[in-house]
């Protein structure tokens, strides 16, 4: 295992009896390692994943696959994965839930007709940056026991600060709040179910509505609308100021999506069944209820990666091509939030347009 903070590195290595590395590049040079798990701050995911693929490793990369300002790195990582025989699984573990594959097949088979509109979201109460990321050592300092320059990566240079290091989710330089920390868990499956490519435009609004304090500069409330050339729309809503979901969730705070098509809609009932609700029109299809075959399983998510690694099957539960389409929406949404403009996308050149 590798960590740039010595106390955590030694503590963890002792607990799991692991070989220790300070620099991830030394770990990647170890020929005995087949698969790496990248669980660093958001802005380090992309460069480290690229280095891992180029070193011949298969990869489990935590979400978001890249930082909100790193669209070019997202694109490069996608190209590096496509040009290699390596396998990547993104840590959107909700994709281990078979319900999404069931819904995808129902849409592909034409049950709802032409996909038209979907809504999903993520609602929580609590500021996970403040409450969920304690400072290990208030007296920690940059130096031989904590490599601050390695932490900064391509983020703006600044003096060492214990909160920035230990509570990095609070800061836009390293994270993005709900849109990138949470929405990959809600949006990935919707894009996959509907069979969508890249959006033609994205607009977003939000702000810090409940958790304002001196350190935080990421929003706690964020909603986006993505319009697709396939004449489909996706809406993602959420806040960290209230945990009520208008409908069942498949995970803590996660709102189950509603998938609408020309002929009807798919919803989840009581976390047990997929319900097809036909449109209210003469000659419409009959309603249906389909039993859900399982649930989210983190072990299954990892097992899927290992099985795909053995067979060089790139289509993991959460592969890079799907992560690219998802992250592009979220990165466009953040640019819209910051500029207060609708952001366009050119599919041919794969570039954003403000």
Q: Using one digit for the tens of pLDDT, what is the confidence trace for 219-271?
A: 999 999 999 999 999 999 999 999 887 655 666 667 789 999 999 999 999 88
d(CA 6, CA 20): 10
d(CA 138, CA 162): 6
Number of domains comprising the chain: 1
Would residue 151 count as lying in a domain? yes
Which domain range does residue 187 map to? 98-155+172-292+326-353
Would residue 136 count as lying in a domain? yes
Would residue 43 count as lying in a domain? no
CATH number at residue 233: 3.30.360.10
pLDDT at 253: 62
Whether the CB-CB separation of 353 and 339 falls below 8 Å is answered with no
Q: What proportion of the chain, given as a percentage, has pLDDT over 90? A: 88
Would residue 6 count as lying in a domain? no
What rounded mean pLDDT belongs to the chain? 94
Q: Using one digit for the tens of pLDDT, what is the confidence trace for 120-141?
A: 999 988 776 666 788 999 999 9
Q: Using one digit for the tens of pLDDT, what is the confidence trace for 178-232?
A: 999 999 999 999 999 999 999 999 999 999 998 877 778 899 999 999 999 999 9
Two structure tokens written together for 52: 């891992």
Q: Where are the beta strands (DSSP E) in 67-217?
A: 88-90, 115-123, 201-207
Would residue 190 count as lying in a domain? yes
pLDDT at 214: 73
- For residues 156-167, average pLDDT: 96
d(CA 66, CA 50): 11
Would residue 313 count as lying in a domain? no
């Amino acid at each position: 295992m590798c960590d740039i903070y010595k106390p955590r590195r030694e503590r963890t290595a002792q607990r799991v009896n692991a070989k220790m590395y300070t620099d991830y590049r030394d770990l990647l040079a170890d020929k005995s390692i087949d698969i790496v798990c990248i669980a660093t701050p958001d802005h380090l995911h992309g460069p480290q994943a690229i280095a891992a693929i180029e070193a011949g490793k298969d990869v489990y990369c935590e979400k978001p696959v890249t930082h909100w300002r790193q669209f070019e790195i997202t694109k490069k990582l996608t190209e590096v994965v496509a040009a290699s025989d390596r396998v990547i699984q993104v840590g959107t573990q909700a994709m281990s839930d078979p319900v999404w594959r069931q819904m995808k097949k129902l849409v592909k088979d034409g049950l709802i007709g032409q996909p038209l509109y979907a809504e999903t979201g993520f609602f929580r109460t609590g500021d996970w940056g403040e409450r969920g990321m304690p400072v290990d050592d208030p007296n920690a300092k940059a130096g031989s026991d904590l490599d601050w320059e390695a932490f900064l990566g391509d983020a703006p240079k600044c003096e060492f600060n214990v909160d920035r290091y230990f509570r990095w989710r609070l800061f836009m330089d390293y994270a993005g709040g709900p849109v990138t920390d949470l929405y990959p868990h809600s949006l990935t499956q919707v894009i996959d179910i509907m069979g969508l490519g890249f959006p033609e435009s994205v607009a977003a609004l939000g702000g810090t509505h409940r958790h304002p304090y001196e350190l935080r500069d990421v929003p706690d409330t964020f909603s986006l609308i993505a319009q697709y050339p396939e004449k489909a729309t996706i809406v993602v809503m959420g806040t960290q100021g209230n945990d009520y979901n208008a409908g069942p969730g498949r995970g803590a705070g996660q709102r189950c999506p509603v998938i609408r098509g020309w002929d009807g809609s798919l919803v989840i009932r009581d976390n047990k069944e997929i319900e097809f609700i036909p449109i209210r029109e003469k000659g419409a299809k009959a309603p249906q209820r389909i039993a859900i075959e399982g649930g989210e399983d983190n072990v299954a998510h990892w097992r899927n990666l290992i099985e795909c690694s053995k067979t060089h099957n790139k289509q993991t539960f959460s592969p890079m091509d799907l992560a690219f389409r998802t992250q592009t929406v979220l990165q466009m949404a953040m640019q819209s939030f910051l500029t207060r403009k609708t952001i366009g996308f050119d599919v041919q050149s794969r570039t954003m347009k403000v």
